[in-house]
Amino acid sequence: MRRTKVTPIYKKTGNLRVVQLLLGHTKMDSTVRYLGVELEDALVISESIEI
């Protein structure tokens, strides 16, 4: 159920940090692996978001 909830959030926002917080992961690698996202894709998305 967790994956069902956070996958649409990630797809809609592209925000890995939000998903990481929602899942309670301490490492981004865990979040990326959990979502089944390629690391390169995750880095491109995270770099495109201004903070």
Return d(Cα 44, Cα 2) in angstroms, integer.
24
pLDDT tens digits for 1-51? 577 788 888 888 888 888 999 999 999 888 888 888 777 777 777 777 776
Q: Where are the alpha helices (DSSP H) in 1-51?
A: 2-13, 16-23, 28-35, 39-48
Q: What is the pTM of this model?
A: 0.66
| Cα Rg of the chain, angstroms | 10
Nearest to 48 by CA among 40, 30, 5: 40
The single-letter DSSP state of residue 15 is: -
pLDDT for position 1: 59
pLDDT for position 21: 92
Domain ranges of the chain: 2-48
